[in-house]
Chains A and B, each alone.
Chain A
Amino acid sequence: MPRPQGNTFATVALAALAALLRVAPLPAGEHPLVIVIHGGAGVIERSRMTAEREASYRAGLAAALDAGYAVLERGGSALDAVGAAVRTMEDDPQFNAGRGAVLNHDGRCELDAAIMDGSGPRAGAVAGVHHVRNPIDLARLVMDKSPHVLLAGEGAEEFALEQGVTLVPASYFITPERVRELEEERRAAASRAPTTPLPIRPSAPKGMGTVGALALDRAGHLAAATSTGGITNKLYGRVGDTPIIGAGTYASESCAVSGTGQGEFYIRQVVAYDICAMVQYQHLPLEAAVRIMMHEKLARTGGEGGAIALDKDGNFAMDFNSAGMHRGVRDSRGHREIAMYRDAN
C-alpha cells in the first residue's frame, strides 16, 4: 500500500528537525548520541606508515564510525549501533577481526567476539569460531536467543547453524598479508627461547588489532562490542580478553568499555569492569580511570594496549600505553574525530 503523503512530509520535517538538533544544544532530558570505536592498538607510528595505508585505515575507521552513528541517528539502539560498527570492521580485511584476522599457530583464523547491553545487563560472547563470517552477530544471537553468555568452538558453530547462520569456509578469513605475518612471527618465535613462564611481549604490532565499539543512544542506554582474531601465532584454543565479559568488554547502565591489547593482562586485571568500578566507587572521572588503568595498573604489570570508554552522560575516553591506537568518535554535539597516533591525530 502506498504511504500517505502526510507521512512523507512528517518524515522530511523530522529529518530537518534532526539536522537542526545536531548543531543546536540538546533539549533538556535528551541524551546525546555518541559512538566511540577502536581498530586496535600497537606499534602505530608515522615513520612506519605509508600515505596510502594511513588513508585506507582512516577510511575504514570512518566507515565503521558512520555506520554505527547512522543507527543512532535514526533512533536505533546503542546495541544495534555497536553491532553495525563492529560488523563493518569485521568485513574490512585491514582490521584484526572477521576477514583479515590474524592467523593462529596452525595457520587458521580463530575468532572471538562479545557484545553487552548495559541496560540488562545482558551479554553474549563466542570464542574460537572458525566459520562464522560475523562473530559479533553470533555473539548477539547468543545473548538474544540462548540462556547462555559464552559459547566456544564447535558448540558455538552448532548453535550458529541452529539459528540459521550460514557458515563460510575457513579460507574466507585468510588474507596474504596475514599469511606473511605468520611466517615472520614463526621465524621470530623459532629464534626466541621456548615458552617462558611469564607472558611475553609480542614481537610485532600485528598481534594487536582487535576492533570495538561503544554507543550511547537516545534512550540513554549504553552498549559495548568487541571482536578479534587474537594474536598472531597464538596456540590453538587460546582465548583472549575480548569475549570475556569484564575483561575486554563491559557495559552497565552508567559505563561501557572495550579494550584492545595483550589480552592475558586484560583478563588478569579485569580491565573493562575495573575501569567502571573506579568511576563508580572511587568517583574518578572516566578519563582518569582509563588513564590510571592504561598507564599505571596495566603498565605496572607489563601489559600493553588501549581502551575506549563511554559514560551515560556522553563523556568518553580513548587512551593507550602503546605507540598508537586506531580510534574514532562521533557525537550529536558535532564532535567527529579519527586518530591513530599518540599526538591526537
Chain B
Amino acid sequence: MYAIAIHGGAGAVPRATLSPEREQRYRAGLEAALEGGYAVLERGGTSLDAVTAAVRILEDDPSFNAGRGAALTREGAAELDAAVMDGRNLRAGAVASVRHVKNPVELARRVMEKSRHVLLVGGGAEEFALEEGFGLVPNLYFRTPERQSQLEHEQRGERVSDLVPPGHGTVGAVACDRDGNLAAATSTGGMTNKRPGRVGDSPIIGAGTYAKNGVCAVSATGHGEYFIRAVAAHHVCAAVEYRSLTLEVAIAELLHDILGGLGGDGGLIGVDRGGHIVMDFSTEGMYRGARDSSGRSEIAIY
C-alpha cells in the first residue's frame, strides 16, 4: 500500500473566526498539495519525491506558514527553515534561516544530495544555493499583507489567532511508496515576531522531521522549542522500534503525555512501514490531509 499525509499547521482554529471563504481556501490548498504528492506515488515515484512535491505546493501557497506567506520575524523579514529525510538510508538535508530561497524544501533536498553536510544555515545556505544554480528571490516575495498586519498586531501586544493565517504553523508531509520506502519533509517560517536567528524544530532531524524504513516517517508542527527538547520525531520512531508501540499510541504518548507534561502543544503526522497513516494533535485543530491506495482520502481542520 502506498500512502501520503500532509499537515499545514496546528493551533487554535476557532470555527467562528474562520470564514467560509477562508476555510474553503485552506481546504483547496491542502487538497492541491495532497493530490500533488499522491500523483507522484501513483505513477510509481518515490516517497521522497512525493513529500518534496507536496511541501513545495504548500510553500507556494500564501495561506500557509512556509515559503510565500511565511510568518515574519520581529524585524519584518521572512526567515525560513526546512528539512527532508529519506528513510531508505537515513540520509537527510536541512536549511535554516534562509531569506531568499523560494522553495526551502528544494534546497534542503539539494543539501542532502549534493553536499557532504546535513544542515546549512543563513548566508552559507544561500551561498550553497547559488553554487547549485538556484535563483534567489527578494525577501519581499515571501511577505504578504496578512502576515504584515499579523506582526503589527503581535507587536502591539494584541493576541492574534495563531492559525488565521497559520502563525505557529508549519507544513509537512510523510509518505510510504510502492516499495515501502518512507520519507518525511517539513518547512516553516517559524513563529510570528520571532527573534532573527531563531531555529525551531522543523530543520532539526529527530525533532520536527524523521524517517526510517521499517519503522516510520514523522513530521511535526507546533511550539518548536518543546519538540526539540523532547526529540519528538525520533522519540516516536524509537517508541515504535524499541517498544513495539503502534504509531497511534507512540504519537499519542508523545503529544499528550510527554509534550503535554512539559506544557507544549502541537501536532504530528506519521506513516508506518505498512502505509498506515496517523494524524494527531493536542491543539484545537490541525490542517491536515491523508490519501492512500486503499481508498482513504480526507481533508480536515478540526
Contacts and interface: CB of A to CB of B under 8 A. Distances in A.
Interface string B224-253: 110011110011001100110000000000
Contact of B117 (A127, A152, A199, A245): A199
Contacts of B197: 151-156, 158-159
Interface in A246-297: 246-247, 250, 263-264, 267-270, 273-274, 277-278, 281-282
B245 to A, nearest CB: 10
B272 to A, nearest CB: 17
Contacts of B228: 123, 149-150, 245-246
B78 interface: no
Contacts of B163: none
Contact of B120 (A120, A149, A238): A238
B167 to A, nearest CB: 15
Report the interface size class on chain A.
35 or more
Contacts of A154: 122, 196-197
B101 interface: no
Interface stretch (A76-84, A90-98, A190-198, A331-339): A190-198
Interface stretch (B88-96, B147-155, B280-288): B88-96
A274 B199 contact: no
Given A152-B197, A155-B197, A237-B123, 5 more contacts: A153-B197, A158-B197, A239-B121, A250-B231, A268-B90
B98 to A, nearest CB: 9
Main secondary structure of the interface of B (DSSP, over half): mixed
Contact of A200 (B85, B116, B199, B200): B116
Contacts of A273: 206, 231, 234-235, 238
Contacts of A250: 231
Interface in A144-183: 146-156, 158-159
B117 A264 contact: yes
Contact of A152 (B97, B128, B231, B238): B97
Contacts of B122: 128, 152-154, 237
Contacts of B196: 154-155, 158
A270 B115 contact: no
Interface of A: 116, 120-123, 127-128, 146-156, 158-159, 195-200, 234-240, 244-247, 250, 263-264, 267-270, 273-274, 277-278, 281-282, 301
A153 B198 contact: no
A298 to B, nearest CB: 11
A198 B118 CA distance: 10
Which residue of A147, A195, A246, A263 has the most chain B CB atoms within 10 A of its CB atom? A246
Interface in B174-215: 195-200, 204-207, 210
A270 B205 contact: yes
A237 B206 contact: no
Given A148-B225, A154-B197, A199-B117, A270 B123 contact: no
A195 B116 contact: yes
B257 interface: no
B30 interface: no
Given A246-B207, A247-B205, A127 B199 contact: yes
A116 B225 CA distance: 13
Contact of B198 (A116, A123, A148): A148
A122 B225 CA distance: 9
A248 to B, nearest CB: 11
Contacts of A235: 115, 117, 120, 124, 127-128
Contacts of A123: 228-229
Given A127-B199, A155-B196, A278-B242, A270 B206 contact: yes
B119 interface: yes
B262 to A, nearest CB: 8
A244 B205 contact: yes
A155 B195 contact: yes
B119 A120 contact: no
Given A237-B125, A277-B238, A245 B118 contact: no
B205 to A, nearest CB: 5
A345 B102 CA distance: 53
A301 to B, nearest CB: 7
Contact of A196 (B116, B128, B238, B262): B116
Contacts of B128: 235, 237
Contact of B121 (A127, A246, A270): A127
26 contacts: A116-B229, A123-B228, A148-B225, A152-B96, A152-B197, A155-B195, A155-B196, A155-B198, A159-B197, A195-B114, A197-B114, A235-B115, A235-B117, A236-B127, A237-B125, A237-B127, A237-B128, A239-B117, A245-B229, A250-B231, A270-B210, A273-B231, A274-B238, A281-B238, A281-B243, A301-B89
A128 B198 CA distance: 12
Given A148-B195, A149-B228, A244 B123 contact: no
B113 interface: yes
Contacts of A301: 89-90
A201 B123 CA distance: 25
B195 A238 contact: no
Which residue of B119, B207, B228, B243 has the most chain A CB atoms within 10 A of its CB atom? B119
Nearest to B79: A155
